[in-house]
Structure 1
Amino acid sequence: MPTYLDVGVVRIQGYIARTPDLRLRRGASWMLSHQTSSAAVREWIKRHPGVRLNEDAGEADGVVCLIVPEGHEEHIATALLVHLRDRLPGAELRAGWAAAPTYPEARQTMPHFLDALPPVRDFPLAYPCQGCWEDPRIDGEMCADCSARQHAGGYRTGADRHDALGTEREILETVNALTGRELEAVSGFNELAGLGQARGNHLATIAFDGNGLGAFFAALDGRFKKGISRAISTATRETLTRTTADLVTRDDTMLPVVPHVIGGDDIVVTVVADRAWALARGFLMQFGVQMAAVGAELGIPASVPLPTMSAGVVLGHAKFPYARAVQLAEETLRRAKRETKGAQAALAWLDVTEDGEQAPKWRRAFTLTELEHLAGPLGVLTRMGKSGRQMLSRQLDHPSEEETRAAALVWARRNGHSAIRVPLEELPVSDVRNLLSIARWWPL
C-alpha cells in the first residue's frame, strides 16, 4: 500500500496578500508555483532515493505531492519542509501523510501532520520590512521573504510590459492562444480598474472553492479514484482559462483578470468590477461543464453527484487594501457555502463601497440556478440606471412587507418603470434589495 505525502503552504492566499505591492505579490505567486512545480520537485527528488512524484495529484500552486517509502515519512517531510522554508521564508508550511490504496482515500485521512512556522521576530525594536511591515529587515529595507519576492518579481521598467509571472503568465499565454490576441499584463490595480467601462476605479476580488469533494471521493468506487484529483485540478485550470478568455472584449489590450494563485480547487483572482459577475457566473457554469466531461470520460455513475464550485465576490475601490479584500472574499465564500450547505454551485457577495465591510442583514447567497432564473429581473434593474435604482431603493424601507411592496409599485407606475412590476409583485422585498445590489455591477 503506497504512502502519500503532501507538503504545502497553509493559508496560501493570506501569504500572498501580505505585501500591498502587486509586483511583490506576483513574485510570491511565482515563488509558489515554481518551487512546488513538477520540474523543481523532480530535481529535489534526485537527492532522495525511493521518493517519487505523485502523478495522480495534479498541479496545485504551493503544494508538493509525493509517494514515499514506508517508515521514512517524517524524515522526508522534514527534509522537504527545510528545503521549502529556505525558498519561501515567510510561508506557514504543513506536511501530512497517510498510507492508503489511492490518493483520494489518503487525502480523506492524513492522520500525521508536521508544521513548520516562519521564524518569529526576536527583537521587537528591529526596523520593520518596508514591503510587508510584518517581519524585521535583514538586508536593506526588506525581510527575507520580501527580498525573495522582489528577486522573483524582477525589476520592471515602464517600457517592460512583461509583468506576469508563473501561473498568471501561463493563463495569459493560453488566453492569447484561445483568442488570437496579444494581450499584456496590467502593471498595477489602478490600470486594471481603468479597463472598466464605467467608474473606472473599482475592482472585484473573487475567491472560488469546490463543494462536496469529500463526499464525492467517498462515494467513488476504487476504480475511479486513480487520477481523479489530477482531473479536477486540470478542470479547474481549464475553467479559469476559458472563462477569462470569454471576458476579453474587442477593445482590450490587457488581460482584465489577475489570477493570483491556483491551489487545486482553491482560486483567488482580481478582475475589473464590471466583469466580476460575468466571471463568477461563467466560472461556476464552466466548471460544471468540465466536471460533466470528466464524469463521462471516466464513466462515473450518474448516481454519484459531481463536485461543484462556489464563489465569494468582494467589490471595492482599487485602493481598498488587497489583503483585507482577500479576507472578506474568503469570508463571503464561506457564507455562500454555509447558506446553501455546499449542496450546489452558489455565490455570495459584498460591495464594500455600498455595504461597508459587513453585509446587511437581508443579504443572502444565491445558488447559480437561482441567479440564472433572476437574470431577467436583473437586466430590468440594470437598465433603470443608477438614479432609478437609488430612487427604487428608497421605496423599500417601510415597516412591513405589504407597505413596502405597495409603495414600490406606486413609484414604479408613476415613474414609467412598468417592467419592474412583475419582480416587485412576485419576489420577496429582501430579494429585490439583493438584486438592486447585484445590478450595480451587472453587465448590460
Structure 2
Amino acid sequence: MSDFRGRLLPARVRSSLRGGLRWKMSAAIALVGALVALALSLVVHNAAQVSMLDNARDVQDERVQFAQRIYEASGREQFGSNVDDPEMPKMVRERAQAGRRITYVASTRSGAPDIWAAVPLADGHVLSLHSRFNDRNATVLADLDRVLWIGSLSVVLGGCALGVLIGGQLSKRLRKAATAAREVAQGESDVRVREAIGGVVRDETDDLARAVDGMADALRQRLEAERRVTADIAHELRTPVTGLLTAAELLPPGRPSELVKDRAQALRTLVEDVLEVARLDSAAERAELQDILLGEFVTRRAGTFGPGVSVQVARESEVTTDPRRLERILGNLLANAARHGGTPIEVTVDGRNLRVRDHGPGFPEELLAEGPSRFRTGSRDRAGRGHGLGLTIAAGQARVLGARLTFRNIRPADPSDDAPAEGAEAVLHLPEHAPTATGSYPMLPAKATD
C-alpha cells in the first residue's frame, strides 16, 4: 500500500486547519457585527437627536406664538422674548421680515445647539426668543449612546463567541476527517472518513468526506487490480521460467550455456520477487514469531555474505520476531549494499536496532524522500542495475513484523552543498512487543512448564 499512501495524503500534515479556522471565522463575524452595530448606533443616535430637536422646535414655536399674543395685547415681552434681538441669526431675521414664522437650530461653540423661534409683528418689528438645547435632552442622548455602546460591545463579543463555537465545530470535524484520511493512507481499509466525522448537521465537510472515501475506494480497487494482474502474470511466468531453467541445465558445458543459465536464473529470481511483492501488497502475510537473540542471529546470517561484511554487537537483545522474514530483510539490505554501495559493509546490532552501512555514493534522493519503490533502479551512477524490488521487499517484510525501516545518507562532519555522501545506512527498528497491530497473527512456540 506504499503507492496508495503517497497518492492519498502527503506525509506532512497541514496545521492551518488546526490553529486558524476558528479564529478567522470569529474575527470575520466580530468584524461584521462591529460594522453593523456601528451603523445602527449612528442611525439610532442621529434619529433620536433629530426627533428631540424637532420636539424642541415645536415647543419653541408654541412659546413664541404665546409671547406674540401677550406682546400685542399688553406690550410686555414674556418667556425671555426680545424684539429685534441683535443676536438673531441673519437668516431668521430675513425670513421673519418676509412675513413668515420660523424656527431654527443654530450651532454654537459649546456644542449644545440654540433653538430659535421668530414671528413678525404688526408694526413691522420681529419678536424672537431662543434657548439652549436643555441638559435633560443631552443627558438622554448620553444615556442612549452609552446603551448603544454596551449593545455594540455585546454584539461583538457574542459574535466572537459564536465564531469560536462554529469554527471550533468545523475545525474539529476537519481534524477528524484528516485523522481518518491518514489512517486510510496507512492501509486501514475499514476506516471511513464520513463515519469518522459523525455529527447530525450535514454540510460541505460531509461532501469532502464522501469524496475522500470515494477516492480511497477507487485507488484501493485500482491498486488491488494492479496487484492481482502483477501476481497473475508472475504466476503464469513461473512455470515456463522453471522449465527454461531446467532445459538450460541440459545444455553442453561452455560459455554460451553459462550465459543462458545465468539469465534464466535472473529471470526466475525476478519472478519470485514480483510474486513476493504482490503477496506483501495484499496485506495477507502473517508472521510466525519466535524468541531469538538478535546479535547472535545477525552474526550467524551475515557471516555467509563473505569477508566484506563486518558485524558488531553493541548490545545484545532478545526479540520476538519471524526469523525467516528477518533473514530476508537482512539479506536484501546486504545485497543492496554490496551491489550499489561500497565496501566495507558494517552491520551493527544495538538492542532492537539493526544497522547496515556501506561506504558507497549513498541512497538516491528520491528514495530518501518517498521510500522504496518497485522497479526504480536508483541513481544514475548505478547504470540501471537491479529492479528496485530488494528494498521494496525489505520494507514490506518489515511492516509484517511491525518494524520500521528507515534510510539515510552519511554526510561528512563539515559538509558543503555539493559534498558527496560518505555512505548509506539502513536502520531496522524492531518493535518491543509482538506485531499484533500490523495484520499479523503471533504464532509463538509453546514454552515448557514446570
After TM superposition, the score normalised by the length of structure 1 is: 0.23
Larger helix proportion of the pair:
2
Q: Looking at CA atoms only, which structure, 1 or 2, has the larger radius of gyration? A: 2
Bigger RCO (CA 8 Å, 6+ sep): 1
